[in-house]
Structure 1
Amino acid sequence: MAVTASLSSELIARPPSYYVRRRLLRNTPAMLGLGFIVLCTLVALLGYWVLPDNSPNANNGLVQLQKEPPGFQATILQLPLPDSNRASSNPLRTWWQGQEPRFREVPIAGYRIEGDSLLTMPYQNHSALADQAQRYSLAAVAGHAGPVATLRQEVEQERIVRRTYWLGTDKSGRDELSRLLLGTRVSLGIGLVAVLISMALGMLIGAVAGYVGGWVDSLLLGLMTVVWSIPGIMLVIAISLALDSKGVWTSFVAVGLTMWVDVARVVRGQMLSLREKTFVEAGRVLGLPQSRLIWRHLLPNMTGPLIVLATSNFAAAILLEAGLSFLGLGVQPPAPSWGLMVNEGFQLLGTSAGFWLTLLPGLVISLLVLSFNLLGNGLRDAYDPKTPLG
């Protein structure tokens, strides 16, 4: 009886998606890639909430701290800004745009308190001239008047902070870790927008070309061939010139409009093989309109190849954006684009900071693109019925 029960459990009919998930979960490289993608997505969604420097674009640079190595620590004196009390602290606005600085920050090498004054020693960087020693009243540093003992305690506990730059600083003295984390928004955002645009446009053109056939197919296939022959970077430059802009959203749209040909060719090929199937003939006999046959019956049968192609286009979009930003044609400063950060580090090669500032953004670009490629390979194997279940 036990043997019969086990055999019957093995013979239970399961949907194809069950076997797809099973094959994918057993693919260790694909799951590692998916894990890194999920981690980057979580960082991008949390945004400024998890950044050490949550100023807009993580652009709070201290020129005295420029080009410092990873693990560097500094003592910072925070001086209240005149309008700091009116600064908005809306969590949603901070998540989307960052928090405007409430203090003017001054790196110091040391300090001592003399009466009702704070005397600070200048911080000297290896690549910047040292400032002069400064004297501040305790009331000005604290932002209000009060007893000297109270002001002294408040200044030492709240206005003089010890900060660690875990990945060092760039040539403008900005926190490299914050800009790398915020750069995930740009890379994943441009990948998502590019995939959505390319999938929508490619599915529409490919489905019409493959299903209608005839002169329509020849015309659309000629359009695909022409667009296919133009390098992606040249297309993005042309689209940016046509839109007369080089902002973040222009880069998103331009990259998306250069990647639809891959999708269209795959959809057209699948459509040519599926349109003669029995279920399509049955739909025609029943009088179903062509639009319903395409969108409700044909395209759902292409889910596997389209998902695999979407992951591939995601990785290609990230690389294309990084290359454009490296050349100065994509995302513009001070937005934290990984390609732009590689360019900034490349300009400093030959210095002690150039190696780290080039390696770190290049490494995260490589890891994210590798993760999407591993996931794409895993999905391709998972949708292949010939792949063993393990």
Structure 2
Amino acid sequence: MAAAAAPPVLPASAAPVRTPGYYVRQRLLANGPAMAGLAFIVLCTGLALLGYLILPDPTPNANDGLVQLQKQPPGTAVTILHRPLAQGRGAEPSVLQRWWGGAPARSQAVAIAGYRIVGDTLRVQPYRVKGALAEPELRLALPEATGRPGSAAELQRLVEQEHIEQRTYWLGTDKAGRDVLSRLLLGTRISLGIGLVAVLISLLIGVTVGAVAGYAGGWLDSLLLGLMTVVWSIPGIMLVIAISLAFGSKGVWTSFVAVGLTMWVDVARVVRGQMLSLREKTFVEAGRVLGLPTARLLARHLLPNLLGPLIVIATSNFAAAILLEAGLSFLGLGVQPPAPSWGLMVKEGYDLLGTRAGLWLTLLPSTAISLLVLSFNLLGNGLRDAYDPKTPLG
């Protein structure tokens, strides 16, 4: 009886079979600028997700400004006295409420130059900005300052431990005395949120219109192509104004939707062009012969082949949406005060150009916008090269 034939042995030097996605990842990982951009995007995403939980000023919109501290330079350190609010503290917000919308101020903050306790009286020297008139010393009864009665020693300990804070404004304050660092960090949530919503809306509309136009062809393609051309010819700002008028408001969510509805044409044109070439392929003809429904043929067999170009254009649209939102907020057509939009912060700094504070109040949000847009552009270029089979590995 003949022995069973042994299975063929592959040579030790034979390279393992890799999927196309493996080579895409390797090319992307080997692209230093793209990975640097991705790292910065991940950092900004983490800051946006943590939001109010990590801000020095966790009040809604980081809007707790002190009149005495207007337009202070970066690194300003002051002593803050916290006095109880006249209406009481109110209910403590939950962690989820603080994460989403911040927490109201639990006390009245007052900037002071110094303090001393004499008997049952707290004597406070008001904070004085250079060039301002000197204010008289404030005298507060200790029970009023602390909100609790008790011995002088106990009240002194409570004042020093619970009601005196040493605060440093690492990036200075704006014209309303608000912490620029807190508003800059919170602005990442608006910028990334604008980009995300805009990309999702543009993909939803653009992929649908482009796929239908490219696959159907004929009069439907001509009609949809004409619609794209008309929308393409209208300036984005005019579309945003029209959409804002239609919604009857100029809030944050209106800006999100308006920016998204101005960016779908780019996606639709790319999808239409790709679909025109793919619909003539053999596998599409085979699907038609087998009687596959058109919707399934599009969703399961044609659109997955567009994943690479869609990812690249999505990163490009993300950067464009951030720039468009910043420009609209600068013009007063986007996010409205007191929301900490980077474009709105640039406008506030621009209004102060010529003063000592105008330089950094304009430069800081402008730098944040530039770095985030540059990161998305670098990532988009890296993805474009990664999906190109001609790009060498490493």
2:334 aligns with one of 330, 333, 350:
330
Match of 1:90 in 2: 94
**Identity rate of aligned residues, in percent?**
73
How far, CA to CA, are the matches of 1:84 and 1:265 in structure 2? 58
Map 1:37-186; keep pairs closer than 5 Å. 37-126=41-130, 130-186=134-190
How far, CA to CA, are the matches of 2:123 and 2:242 in structure 1? 57
Map 1:230-241; keep pairs closer than 5 Å. 230-241=234-245
Unaligned runs of 5+ in 1: none
How far, CA to CA, are the matches of 1:107 and 1:258 in structure 2? 46
Residues 92, 152 of structure 1: alpha-carbon distance in 2 compared, 3 angstrom cutoff: same
Match of 2:300 in 1: 296
1:165 Cα deviation (Å)? Answer: 0.3
- The aligned amino acid for 1:63 is V
Match of 1:381 in 2: 385
Deviates more, 1:45-54 or 1:137-146: 137-146
In the alignment, structure 1 residue 206 sits paired with structure 2 residue 206: no
Runs of 4+ in structure 1 displaced over 6 angstroms?
none
Match of 2:22 in 1: 18
Contact 1:247 1:332 in 2 (8 A): yes
Match of 1:34 in 2: 38
Match of 1:365 in 2: 369
How far, CA to CA, are the matches of 1:21 and 1:162 in structure 2? 48
How far, CA to CA, are the matches of 1:62 and 1:184 in structure 2? 23
Contact 1:117 1:135 in 2 (8 A): yes
Match of 1:228 in 2: 232
How far, CA to CA, are the matches of 2:131 and 2:390 in structure 1? 61
How far, CA to CA, are the matches of 1:189 and 1:341 in structure 2? 17
- C-alpha RMSD over aligned residues: 1.1
Contact 1:63 1:128 in 2 (8 A): no
Match of 1:257 in 2: 261
- The aligned amino acid for 2:33 is P
Task: Specify the SS of the correspondent of 2:89.
Answer: helix
How far, CA to CA, are the matches of 1:166 and 1:128 in structure 2? 23
How far, CA to CA, are the matches of 2:131 and 2:184 in structure 1? 23
Match of 2:5 in 1: none
In the alignment, structure 1 residue 311 sits paired with structure 2 residue 315: yes
Unaligned runs of 5+ in 2: 1-9
Task: Specify the SS of the correspondent of 1:86.
Answer: coil
2:191 aligns with one of 187, 190, 200:
187
TM-score, normalised by the number of residues in structure 2:
0.96
Contact 1:64 1:128 in 2 (8 A): no
How far, CA to CA, are the matches of 1:130 and 1:381 in structure 2? 64
Task: Specify the SS of the correspondent of 1:121.
Answer: strand
1:351 aligns with one of 355, 359, 364:
355
Q: Deviations over 1:293-336 (max 9, x none)?
A: 11111000000000000000000000000000000000000000
Residues 330, 341 of structure 1: alpha-carbon distance in 2 compared, 3 angstrom cutoff: same
Match of 2:324 in 1: 320
How far, CA to CA, are the matches of 2:130 and 2:54 in structure 1? 30
- The aligned amino acid for 2:90 is R
Task: Specify the SS of the correspondent of 2:200.
Answer: helix
In the alignment, structure 1 residue 286 sits paired with structure 2 residue 269: no
Task: Specify the SS of the correspondent of 1:197.
Answer: helix
1:339 Cα deviation (Å)? Answer: 0.2
Q: Deviations over 1:187-228 (max 9, x none)?
A: 000000000000000000000000000000000000000000
Contact 2:89 2:107 in 1 (8 A): no
- The aligned amino acid for 1:67 is K
How far, CA to CA, are the matches of 1:376 and 1:148 in structure 2? 65
How far, CA to CA, are the matches of 2:136 and 2:307 in structure 1? 66
1:4 Cα deviation (Å)? Answer: 4.1
How far, CA to CA, are the matches of 1:85 and 1:167 in structure 2? 29
How far, CA to CA, are the matches of 1:100 and 1:233 in structure 2? 35
How far, CA to CA, are the matches of 1:131 and 1:37 in structure 2? 47
Task: Specify the SS of the correspondent of 2:338.
Answer: coil
Q: Deviations over 1:4-24 (max 9, x none)?
A: 42x22x2x2111100000000
Match of 2:6 in 1: none
How far, CA to CA, are the matches of 2:203 and 2:256 in structure 1? 14
Match of 2:4 in 1: none
How far, CA to CA, are the matches of 1:128 and 1:336 in structure 2? 29
How far, CA to CA, are the matches of 1:347 and 1:19 in structure 2? 50
1:127 Cα deviation (Å)? Answer: 6.8
1:82 Cα deviation (Å)? Answer: 3.2
